[in-house]
Amino acid sequence: MLVASLAALGLIVIVLAALLYQLMRQQGRLLMRLDQVERHLGLNSAEAVERGTVTIQARQPSGLPVGTTLPNFERPDLDGRTVSLQDFRGKRVLLVNWSARCGFCDLIAPELAQAEAALEQVNVQMLLVSCGTAETERKLAEEHGLKSPILLAASFAGLEAFENLGTPSAYLLDEEGKVAKPLAVGAEQVPALVGEILPEKAQRTRLPGERPLSESRIERNGLKAGTLAPNFTLPEVRGGTISLDQYRGRRVLLVFSDPHCGPCDQLAPHLARIHKEHRNNGLDLLMVGRGDPEDNRVKVERQGLEFPVALQRGWSLSRRYGIFATPVGFLIDENGIVAQDAAQGVGQILALAGKEA
């Protein structure tokens, strides 16, 4: 009896070990596949997360330890001049991982621009580093009045401070180029780091009741069900204008997209099919793109989108809907009310569209 029990226990252990082995192999294959996707698209991990290509959420990065000396690096600025970190020795440097295509960067850009003069007064140079293009970065900087140098990096190879980090994120470096404070990540922590750097008297005087961005309660996860959908009138990529009010009395699926967003490309043919099959069923589709008008026109034609596609400036309308990513969808009812919480990502948007259709 004892021998049989031990044999049975041994068999169970072997089966469990085999299952664990298979799970580990499967996880390994999954991670390898994700890595292949990123390499195929030419993205590092941070860019993959920012673009939405990989939807796994990374844990909060710890960053480089305080006291770490950053190796010198050289990158071209928006005018093509070579700028190095060494150029700023003797000053403290607020080194910011940046992207004009990042909604949260666009959100905090005005506050950073307002802080530039005060930072200079306390011997701090803000230095932005981006994987974007000179044109897109210059456009965002001019829109918000950012005057600090913006350096362009084809990738963050050789710049270990920002490897595998998303945008925005920032380090404060001391006069010798050493990390002076822990890594700040996100639209709340980066402005908060600026607030720590500036003495209270140097910070901008705020209007009564006004909060700094780091303490604001701005909606960042999308308007909730029951909210009146903000009306808008925007140019349509094929010409003319389109207004949300035109859809009053009908249900509309409003989708925020970007011509450089991988998941948006995956979503587009499904939306084209849904429009063709269900446009007479009381559900209209309306897309809002961002970025370059010509890029949006090319995408619309290539993807065969027959429903209206409006064009917002930057994240201006996205901000009113409380989102800073793409793709995101809102179902708006006949009375102009958001009928369900925001659908984020391809799967949620298709589920919402399928339910309504």
3-state secondary structure 62-110: CCCCCCCECCCCEEEECCCCEEEHHHHCCCEEEEEEECCCCHHHHHHHH
Residue 304 is assigned to a structural domain of this protein: yes
In the chain, the number of structural domains is 2
Q: Do 198 and 268 belong to one domain? A: no
State the average pLDDT over residues 299-322: 93
Q: Do 282 and 340 belong to one domain? A: yes
- Top-confidence residue, 160 or 306: 306
Residue 269 is assigned to a structural domain of this protein: yes
Q: Are 310 and 231 in contact (CB under 8 A)?
A: no
Q: Left if phi > 0, otherwise alpha if psi is -120 to 50, otherwise beta: which for 207?
A: beta
Angle between the 186-197 and 103-121 helix axes, to the nearest 10 degrees?
0
Which residues have a Cβ under 8 Å from the Cβ of 205 and sit 6 or more positions away?
A: none
Residue 132 is assigned to a structural domain of this protein: yes
| Domain-ending residue, one of 161, 182, 215 | 215
Q: Which domain holds residue 341?
A: 233-356
Q: Do 210 and 78 belong to one domain? A: yes
> Residue 149 maps to which CATH number?
3.40.30.10
Task: With cut-offs at 50, 70 and 90, classify the pLDDT of residue 107.
Answer: confident
| Domain-ending residue, one of 185, 215, 245 | 215
Mean pLDDT of the chain: 82
Q: Do 151 and 192 belong to one domain? A: yes
Residue 329 is assigned to a structural domain of this protein: yes
Q: How far apart are CA 266 and CA 297, in angstroms?
A: 17
Q: Do 237 and 155 belong to one domain? A: no
Q: Do 159 and 262 belong to one domain? A: no
Residue 211 is assigned to a structural domain of this protein: yes
For 109-145, b where at least 16 C-beta lie within 10 A, e where not — what string? bebbbebbebbeeeebbbbbbbbbeeebbbbbbebbe
Q: Do 285 and 211 belong to one domain? A: no
- Tell me which residue of 213, 237, 256, 198 sits closest to 105, measured CA to CA: 213
Q: Do 170 and 93 belong to one domain? A: yes
Percentage of the chain beyond pLDDT 70 is 76
Q: Are 253 and 353 in contact (CB under 8 A)?
A: yes
pLDDT of 22 over the 80 cut? no
Residue 40 is assigned to a structural domain of this protein: no
| Domain-ending residue, one of 154, 185, 215 | 215
State the average pLDDT over residues 303-332: 93
Q: Do 109 and 191 belong to one domain? A: yes
Q: How far apart are CA 130 and CA 151, in angstroms?
A: 6
Q: Do 195 and 255 belong to one domain? A: no
Residue 25 is assigned to a structural domain of this protein: no
Q: Do 210 and 245 belong to one domain? A: no
Lowest mean pLDDT among 24-33, 162-171, 250-259, 276-285: 24-33
Question: What's the token pair of residue 170?
Answer: 């920032």
Lowest mean pLDDT among 136-140, 219-223, 264-268: 219-223
Angle between the 262-278 and 293-303 helix axes, to the nearest 10 degrees?
50
Whole-model pTM: value is 0.65
pLDDT of 27 over the 60 cut? no
* pLDDT on residue 43: 45
Q: How far apart are CA 247 and CA 90, in angstroms?
A: 59
Q: Are 140 and 106 in contact (CB under 8 A)?
A: yes
Q: Do 79 and 210 belong to one domain? A: yes
Residue 114 is assigned to a structural domain of this protein: yes
Question: Which residue bears the tokens 């380090």?
Answer: 171
